[in-house]
């Protein structure tokens, strides 16, 4: 265990940041899981409306540093492609 005052403070900060990042990633995973479930259940209208909120959440995760911007771009691209493709196939 660290014994310097600055090292102890850094350890405390790491604990707080780890908890915050875990909460953020959990929130993101839940949102991704729910929109993917909507796509699988063929509820495309609902998925389309939820897509906007999910994309916004993904962007927020990038600004907070919870995920990398390239990972965010990949999530957004794949979700949008799935929703658009399934909506077009349904018509």
What was the pLDDT predicted at 89? Answer: 80
Task: Yes or no: say if 48 and 87 are a contact pair by the CB < 8 Å rule.
Answer: yes
How many Cβ atoms are within 10 Å of 35's Cβ, its own excluded?
21
Instruction: Write down the pLDDT at residue 67.
Output: 93
Angle, CA of 9, 69 and 86, to the nearest 5°: 135
Give the chain's domains with CATH numbers. 5-90 (1.20.58.110)
For the CA atoms of 44, 50, 56, 57, what is the dihedral angle to 10 degrees?
-120
Q: What beta strand segments (E) does 7-91 contain?
A: none
- CA atoms in the 13 A half-sphere facing the CB of 88: 6
pLDDT computed for residue 6 by the predictor: 94
10 Å CB burial of residue 11 (0-12, 13-18, 19+) is: exposed
**pLDDT one digit per residue (tens) for the chain, 91 residues:** 678 999 999 999 999 999 999 999 999 999 999 999 999 998 888 999 999 999 999 999 999 999 999 999 999 999 999 999 888 887 6
């Amino acid at each position: 265990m660290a014994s310097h005052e600055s090292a102890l403070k850094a350890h405390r900060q790491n604990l707080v940041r780890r908890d915050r990042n875990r909460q953020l990633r959990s929130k993101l995973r839940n949102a991704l899981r729910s929109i993917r479930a909507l796509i699988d259940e063929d509820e495309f209208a609902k998925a389309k409306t939820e897509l906007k909120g999910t994309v916004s959440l993904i962007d927020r995760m990038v600004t907070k540093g919870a995920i990398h911007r390239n990972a965010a771009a990949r999530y957004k691209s794949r979700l949008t492609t799935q929703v658009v493709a399934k909506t077009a196939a349904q018509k």
